[in-house]
Structures are given as C-alpha cells and as structure tokens.
Structure 1
C-alpha cells in the first residue's frame, strides 16, 4: 500500500470523524463569518450558513439522499440530523411498499389520443375530487379528499401516498380500508412545505398526483423551484 494512498485514506477518515460534508452545489451561500461557500468545499456540523434569495446548497451527508437547502439560515448539524432521520423514514416506507409488491407496480390504463397531436390521456385513473394546488395554513388544518374508482366492481383497499416534492422521498403512506372512498389527514404535521399526494389502489390503479403547500412557520422548504408549474 503506497504512502500516498494511506495519506488520502487518513484524510477521508478525519473528514468523516469531524462530521464534515462535501459541498456538491452552492450558489449565493456564505458562512456566518462572511466566507463564501463554493463547490468542493467542506462544511462542518458546527457551521451556520446563510443562503441568499435565489441561492441553494447541496451537501453529501450520511444518507444516500443528498441534502438540499433553499434560501435561509441553517445550522448544518441540526439540518443534517433532520434530513438523515427523514431519509430513514423514507427507507422504511419504501420497504412497506415493497412487501406489498407496489413499489414498481404499473397499471395498464386505457388511453385517449388527441387527434392531430402526440398527447394522450389515461382515461381510467382514479379520480380525486380535490384538484390543483392545495394551500394549508397551519399545522392543525385538515385536508379531506375523496375519490371515485372507475372500476365499480373493485373491492380492495387503497393507500394515500405523500411525498416530498423536490426529492420525491416518501413522507407517509396511510393504508385505507376496503370500500372506503375518502380520508382526512393533516399535511402540516409533517414539517414539509412542498409535497404532493395521490391515491393508489391495491391493484396499482392510481390517481394523478396533486400538490400541497403548507404555509405554517414550521414548514420546511427543501429546494428551490417553481412549485406552481403544472406537473400533471
């Protein structure tokens, strides 16, 4: 083993031991002392950083999912702990869907092709009564959604799937009993500002996904983007 390789290895071990994270992307980011943060720098868990308007930061942290931060003031240690805990939740929910055989399942929808265009519509999806962006004003505000399954003979259960808008990681999966066509939940309880949700039946037939924006002080924005841009 060469001396150079040993030196590099020891440096990497030291970085990990100190709780330092490599900067993968940085725009308009400064440390508390005013020092500019650039790509390939390392930030410590003890660092506090400021991200200006239209800026962003992406860090390589302990979890396999990179941590992305929108404009604001952040303590890196607190943010990495929050992010890694959420990623653990995402993994558990992924396993839950895998056990049910639903993580990669696909439903063969009937499609309607628009004459003279390359657009098509899946005409037999589950239809939700709540469409478009939903604004939630507090942690205790409830959202009730109901749906219609075009297969009137279906007798199985459903799942409400809630995901983070930017990372697409699972936030919650709520099982819904058989022959039930509505559910009430509280989007503000998750602490995510931008989310989307949809309903998936046990046979993999699903609704389109729809957006939720939580406007309470405890809601956290994970990334910069135009959230109002249609994505269905």
Structure 2
C-alpha cells in the first residue's frame, strides 16, 4: 500500500507534470549529445540543439503543439513563450470576433488582365509604404500611412500584425487616423506581415517586416492554427 502511495505521489509532482512528449523529431540532440526521438519526453530544464533542416514538435500546455525550427533552445523557455503567444493569438481572435471582423469580407471592384485569368482589386486601401521593411533595432519605429478610395468613409481602422509563417495574431492597433506609428522590434518575431482593415472590412494588401535584432526569433516551424 505504501509503495502504491509513493508511486501516486511521484506521478503528481511538478516534475512529472513538466514532461513534454516528443511528437516529431528530426536532427535533434540534447546537450549530452544523445539523439532525441519521437516518443521521448523532455523536461522544462532540458537543453536541445536542432540541426539545419531539422525540427521538433512537442505536446505542451497550450491547445496547440509547439514546433521549433533549427537552433539551440531551453525547452521550458520556449514552451513559456509559445504559450504566451498562443494566449495573445486567442485574445486577439476574440477581439476581432466581437467586432465581426474575423471572417471579414469586402466586395472589391476588379480589373481583368486581357488574355489572362488574373485580375486586380482596384479599390483596396492603398498604403504609401510598399515592399519588405527591414528593422535593425528594437527601438526603431515604423510609420505607415494610407488612402481610402472611399473619401466619404468616416469610420476607424485596424492595423493587424501577424506572424508571417504561422499567421497567428501578434497585435491589433486601432486608430481613427490614416497614419500610424508602431515598433515592430518589440514583438520578438523575426518575420511578420501587416495590413490595414477598415471597420467596413475594406483592407489593404499585406506587407512584410523583417526584424534583424537579437530578441527576434524565427518561428517558421511554429503554428497556432494547426489543431492537435
């Protein structure tokens, strides 16, 4: 009876709860040089190295699996960051749902290209800044401005920032103006994209941001949108 009680107590310790199952592993080793394989369990304290073209998928606390790209990691640090990002994504998704904008659609006028099946939406919100923006300092600001083709429009706008690879929401900034300044380096994501969406669902095209700072992490193998 005592032995059963001891086993049950061990199974309920924080250490046991901190074990993460390895769902997929390619070119992954711990800091002892041992290969990490599918079906293994890693603790928050484990340090791992993922070689080039490798990857790791772990079952962590959040509703979405954590996927890591090549690099060196402390499992607990990454799982904490993943959970915070996922919680942020859920909170921002809720905001857009409340505003009726999560499945926002706008009927644009289109211009067909003669001799082709391609077409262009000619009445989108037009941003003055186009193309990839590179940010090399966490304190560097980015100011964007835009023009709404509907000059009678009097509503508000939303700057929607998402991770380029996993499409998880990073931030949503509201404004009544047609210009806005923000700081891409503060988010800790290396590759992002953004666009402007009006209250009536008219939107701009999406434009990319690359943040080249030590705090920016590449999350190309992380996804908030793939269900378990």
Distance apart, 1:21 and its partner CA:
2.0
State the superposition RMSD in angstroms. 2.0
What secondary structure is seen at the aligned counterpart in 1 of 2:88? helix
1:157 aligns with 2:156: yes
2-structure distance, mates of 1:157, 1:175: 7
TM-aligned CA distance change 1:56 to 1:155, over 3 Å: same
1-structure distance, mates of 2:97, 2:12: 34
TM-aligned CA distance change 1:99 to 1:116, over 3 Å: same
Q: Which moved more, 1:44-53 or 1:168-177?
A: 44-53
Checking the alignment, whether the CA contact within 8 Å between 2:15 and 2:43 is kept in structure 1 is no
What secondary structure is seen at the aligned counterpart in 2 of 1:220? coil
In the superposition, the TM-score normalised over structure 1's length comes to: 0.85
2-structure distance, mates of 1:133, 1:39: 38
2-structure distance, mates of 1:23, 1:107: 42
Distance apart, 1:17 and its partner CA:
4.0
Aligned with residue 212 of structure 1, among 198, 209, 220: 209
2-structure distance, mates of 1:148, 1:35: 56
Checking the alignment, whether the CA contact within 8 Å between 2:134 and 2:209 is kept in structure 1 is yes
Aligned with residue 198 of structure 1, among 192, 195, 200: 195
What secondary structure is seen at the aligned counterpart in 2 of 1:93? helix
Checking the alignment, whether the CA contact within 8 Å between 1:133 and 1:210 is kept in structure 2 is yes
TM-aligned CA distance change 1:224 to 1:167, over 3 Å: closer
Q: Which moved more, 1:106-115 or 1:156-165?
A: 106-115
Unaligned runs of 5+ in 2: 1-10, 223-228
Question: Match for residue 139 of structure 1?
Answer: 138
Distance apart, 1:62 and its partner CA:
1.5
Unaligned runs of 5+ in 1: 1-11, 226-232
TM-aligned CA distance change 1:24 to 1:111, over 3 Å: farther
Distance apart, 1:51 and its partner CA:
1.0
In the superposition, the TM-score normalised over structure 2's length comes to: 0.87
